[in-house]
Amino acid sequence: MNPTVISTIHVVGIALLFMVIVARSTTLFKGTQGNQPNPSFRKLFVAIQHTSLTLVVITGITLLAMNNFQVETWFYAKVVLFLVMLSSLMKAYKKDDAILLIQRKAGWGIALVAFISIYGLVLLKPVFG
């Protein structure tokens, strides 16, 4: 398959992920129920978020394979930040009443910072070491 097509799909997945992260944040700031996010649109947001994350991971691995797994050092920082983002989103939206709303908001904020940091790494492609 053409790397340009896969790269385009990867970018679309990333854009979709960014939009759902921002849109889903409204559930933490409006209409919360106790320590739980607003349940309206929950299934839609979860479906879009899971779809976009799956799309990003599958196309990313495909692009890596097409590049014979040859990566720059900044790529490892990108993977770590991706895992931080994923973990923070899981904490922010986990169905657990023991997680305070402020912790959920902080998890969302950390995820957003990690996403923006990944984007910065991709744009700058810094040389470490």
Give domain status of residue 68, yes or no: yes
Closest of 82, 67, 110 to residue 17, by C-alpha = 82
What does the pLDDT look like over 26-79, one tens digit per residue?
999 998 988 999 998 889 999 999 999 999 999 999 999 999 999 999 999 999
Q: Dihedral of the CA atoms 115, 120, 126, 129 (nearest 10)?
A: -40
Give domain status of residue 26, yes or no: yes
Give domain status of residue 129, yes or no: no
pLDDT of residue 59: 97
Closest of 78, 68, 60 to residue 6, by C-alpha = 60
Give domain status of residue 40, yes or no: yes
pLDDT of residue 128: 78
Quote the domain boundaries for residue 106.
3-124
Main-chain dihedrals φ then ψ at residue 36, nearest 5 degrees: -95, 145
Give domain status of residue 16, yes or no: yes
Q: Work out the angle at residue 87's Cα, subtended by the Cα atoms of residues 82 and 90, and round it to the nearest 5 degrees.
A: 125
Give domain status of residue 7, yes or no: yes
Domain count, the chain: 1
Closest of 88, 71, 82 to residue 117, by C-alpha = 82
Burial zone of 73 (CB within 10 Å; 0-12 exposed, 13-18 middle, 19+ buried)? exposed
Q: C-alpha 111: how far from its chain's center?
A: 7
pLDDT of residue 66: 95
State mean pLDDT over 100-115. 97
Matching residue, tokens 């990867």 = 10
Give domain status of residue 19, yes or no: yes
The one-letter code for the residue type at 106 is A
Give domain status of residue 104, yes or no: yes
